[in-house]
Structure 1
Amino acid sequence: MQQCQLTIPAVIYAGQDSVNKISEIIAKEDAKSILIFTDKGLHERGLCDDVIKACGQVPYKIIDDLTPEPAVEDVEHVIAEVGMEKADLIIGVGGGSVMDASKLVSVIVGADYNLRDLLKDSSIARKQIKTIMVPTTCGTGSEATCNAIVAIPEEETKQGIVNDGMIPDYVILDVNMIAKLPPQIIAATGVDALAHVVECFTSKKATALSDTYAKEGACKIFHNIKQAYNNADDMQAKSEMMIGAFYGGVAITGSGTTAVHALSYPLGGKYHIAHGVSNAILFAHVMAFNKDACADRLAQLCDAVYPELSAKSVDEKADYIINEIASIVKDTNIPVSLKEFGVKDDDLDFLVDAGSKQTRLLVNNCKELSLDDIRNIYKKVM
């Protein structure tokens, strides 16, 4: 077996009411001051109430003005808002944007570098404050990764900052946090999580360790996403989605996403299409393009998720996975055309140029993409 590495959060609590474990963590860390990051919608709906209760008598400050899909300036604003305030613990309660911002704050506040420095060289980051991540969606996987994504408006795209210092110290996977999640958010974040596991399993950097999490995450997500979307009361399906999303995040730390995510970044950066939606639009088309280079891997994934299809050929199994991806996107009513978001044919040159620059992820793709290949994929979703 080739040498490989997997860096994951030190402690993970999962199960209904596991958010109550936060009080034990605070005591264990002897925290004297806490920063809670969230967004106003979650705060107003009471999703932070149990977290606040767990703080007990320990002073805390809530930062709830985080923006969705934050740009560099948004994160800098949050860092300035925190200022030099001494904190022993950061708790991120939210989706990927909240958790990414929380992780960035955890390595920047008190450090001798800033966010712009990390955009140039993320290797210099070092954890300054320990973190607890409490996801409120079932898809981003940010609670498991050493990644944080920020939009760069002047380039009309996004960039990932990657450093092991951003691996959360504690993770809380409490299904209560997604009990009332709107179906469209379950769909978008769920397909994002599905992209994580499929991309990681077919990545050039896939390893025996990342494969384990990617396959198990795929089983959970393929079998539960439609049920979680269609039945608001199915807490078991939602719980499986939450665990599957976490596994997808773990797989990212050992392998890495590929062309689906690479080509989606300009869609979020310029047109502000939600991350999960932009991935969903491209997902099946990118995998169809990749098929001749990873049919065996897609077939292995099919064997893990749908063992009843084991007698089918490699080609049939690969097609089955790709068709299931397209079916999930269709059945969860995610838009499949960029035209719905105001993208015009004249924008193709920008998209091709911006997408081709996402080399951090494109190098993971099992098949090299030429500029014409990228253009043809975008054309398919216009």
Structure 2
Amino acid sequence: MTTDDNPKKPDRLKKPERAPYLSVVLVILPLISAIMLWVALNNIGMAGGGFTGFLKTLLLPVAAFIVAYTVYRLAIERGATLFSVGYILAGVVGISSILIVGAGLYLGTLPGLIIKEVEERRLQVYATETARYADHRMTEAAQAGRVVPVVMAIASDLNTKTECEKATSCVSLRGSGGYGSTTRTLEALASRAAAVRDEASSGLQQREAIRSELANHLARMETVLADEERDIWERRTALRELDAGLEQVLNRLDEAVPTAMLAAYAGELRAGVTIPDQPDVTGRLNALLAGYAANLEAVLGQAESERIERPVFPPRTGAIQTLSYIGEFAPVALLVLAVELVFPLVLWVYTVLSLLWARYQANPEGDSPPPRESDFDDLTTLRPIDVPKRSRARKVVEYDDDPDVDDAPPVRRGRAR
């Protein structure tokens, strides 16, 4: 059988009907929003809570898709249509629903899309401030190290004065040497100065080693933060551990040069000594010790610079905190705003304009449509004296092709008037 013999068979296949672009957009737009929300929730770390976290990251995007699709479709297909024919409330409800849903999706999606970058930025700021703080502490330690030469000079001078007093009584100015009360007092002072000198010298050597350790510790913190192959949350955990160790290194740096002990020693020198029955020798010796104390306090005063507060390790970035960094991520923020809020509003506006233009083309003059016809239209034109006309029913005679039937019209019988 050929094609001509089968009239029901089409000559060619018909192209499938394409869905209107508006229907496609109303599906794709909420779908994109749901996918972006899913990515945002994973970036925030909501999926890390086991099955519960996985369920939240699954249900929230699905619910967002359903809500967005329903609201956008009702607002555009129903609200825009009703608004174009004069229902103002439909337009208010449509625009309000688009704004509420779009704003909710925007605030729920944007923080998650940029939260990792914001967290890295905050940690970088903290690392920079911590390095500056460590430099300040090392500068203080270096200034404290200047006290050590002063203590060494005091110890050396007291030793010299002790030997001089033994030989010639150069301090007491009584006699020509010997081992008297003045010499014994000077020996005690020299012994105390030597002990302070040895402890300060040992701390100075420790300080140099701790400064090198501190520099290596800060370099490790910078290396961990700059490792972009690791997730930012893993880098944050490692950086937190290094931050705890940093405080220990800084405390050891402060304790390397015992400035508190040196300040107490300066107080001892200023308090002076008392030699019985020798007020003049006591005065000369206390004047000598006061000079030592003044020199030591002057260097300690230079070492005590203004303390700055140590930077606090920042807490984990929250969704609201990311909004303060929108200016630094303006392109991403504008793109998400266009997808979640601007495009649905523009689509609604253009739909309303298209409907208004279609109405104008159908009725350019703006005439009101004719009233609808009904079975009672004739009654509205009647007057009280009119009698409605009644149409006569015609009798319809059916004929058939039977030859036995007489086809002549029937004759009306009756009396003639």
**Which bin holds the TM-score, normalised by the shorter protein?**
under 0.3
RCO comparison, higher one (Cα < 8 Å, 6+): 2
Structure with higher Rg: it is 2
TM-score norm. by structure 2 comes to 0.17
* TM-score, normalised with respect to structure 1: 0.19
Question: When you count helix as a share of all residues, which structure comes out higher?
Answer: 2
| Higher percent of residues as strand | 1
